Structure 1
Amino acid sequence: MTIHIRKCTLEDLPILQEIGCETFNETFKDQNSPENMKVYLDRAFNANQLETELSNSESAFFFIYVHAEVAGYLKVNVNEAQTEKEGNDSLEIERIYIRKEFQGQGLGHHLINKALELAKEQNKQKIWLGVWEKNEGAIKFYERMGFTQSGTHSFYMGDEKQTDLVMTKMLK
């Protein structure tokens, strides 16, 4: 299996929008109302929002390819782009999603390792992420990758307040 990770550019916006909506919907549609899903998807993955995020020097998106097909993506944030004030010694994994047909092939490990590589290159002390408390598979995956729960924060899915576990991995 040929795997390649590449940083996204503004030219990637249409495929990023497509894969972002697709993977988020696949992951969470069964646990949330269609109305709340639509509100979130329209807000998080509209072209203007993604263009702003792609243009932010403190955020980066990466596609992971299997052979020549986009199989998933990673979004990381540092400094002021982080969704929580975790400090300038931290790198946040804001999104990590793999398309359903590519799950179970170890691609999540490759994306976590990419985030760890970026954090080390930037001399960060820790890497962190938020994961929905009901997403047991993802929580177990992050625990296997060395993350431990360090807190919680609120996440809004439309008008519904949900709780994300904040999980952290120290690097030094």
Structure 2
Amino acid sequence: MSFSYRAGSRRDAETVDRLFRTSFMATFAHLYRPEDLDAFLSKFTPQAWEAELADDRFAFQLAEADGEPVGFVKLGPAELPVERNGPAIELRQFYLLHEWRGAGVAHALMKWTMEEARVRGAREVYLTVYTDNHRARRFYERYGFQEVGPYKFMVGEQADEDIIMRAQV
């Protein structure tokens, strides 16, 4: 098995959409009413992904196993409601197909995330994580992320209890 990593481009919009939906649904779908899930997912379309992939304010890194896409990470402008201590960037999405957990792909994507944040001049990286997603929280903590405060993450009309985390770059 060989893994490769590359920058996302506009031509990856459908791939990113598929990876996002598959991973999100496998991890979180059971938490929501169908109408809330539909409302949330309706904001994520191949056209919306394509617009972000073409926007220099965002950076995508895709992971592939033997040429097949298995995950991605997206950085973008820091917009979370926190007081920043300098230039910041936000880890907006980090999705990996479940069958690739533990294969080292997430580590490689996070290494890229922190390096790309530095290249873009950030001193801090922010993200949100679902309070009960203990696996993800432990993963982020290994990279120096610490809890900053609570955050209401809206999925349709349901407000999830998330945590804002920050790491120094």
- Given the two structures, how large is their TM-score scaled by the length of structure 2? 0.91
Alpha-carbon separation, structure 1, partners of 2:149 and 2:6: 31
Contact 1:76 1:92 in 2 (8 A): yes
Give the secondary-structure state (helix, strand or coil) at the position aligned to 2:26: helix
Shift of 1:109: 1.1
In structure 2, C-alpha distance between the alignment counterparts of 1:29 and 1:90, rounded to whole Å = 31
2:140 match: 142
8 Å CA contact 1:63, 1:72 repeated in 2: yes
Q: 1:83 aligns with which of 63, 79, 83?
A: 79
Cα deviations across residues 69-123 of structure 1 (Å, max 9, x unaligned)? 111010101xxx3332565611211111110111121211111100111012123
CA drift at 1:148? 0.7
Alpha-carbon distance between aligned partners in 2 of 1:38 and 1:72, rounded to the nearest angstrom: 22
Would you identify which runs of 4 or more consecutive aligned residues in structure 1 move more than 3 Å? Answer: 85-88
Contact map agreement 1:25 1:37 (CA 8 A) in 2: no
Q: Any stretches of 5+ residues in structure 1 without a counterpart?
A: none
Aligned residues: percent identity? 25
1:87-166 → structure 2 map (5 Å cutoff): 89-166=87-164
One-letter amino acid of the structure 2 residue matched with residue 107 of structure 1? V
Pairing of 1:23-34 with structure 2 (within 5 A):
23-34=23-34
Residue deviations 1:32-67 (CA, integer Å, cap 9, x gap):
222211211111x21332222222211122211122
Give the TM-score normalised by structure 1. 0.89
Measured in 2, the distance between the counterparts of 1:39 and 1:104 equals: 32
| Aligned-partner SS, 1:153 | strand
Question: Is the Cα–Cα contact under 8 Å of residues 75 and 89 in structure 2 kept in the other structure?
Answer: yes
- Supply the RMSD in Å over aligned alpha carbons: 1.6
3-state DSSP of counterpart to 2:132: coil
Number of equivalenced pairs = 167
| 1:60 matched residue in structure 2 | 59
CA distance in 1, matches of 2:4, 2:87: 28
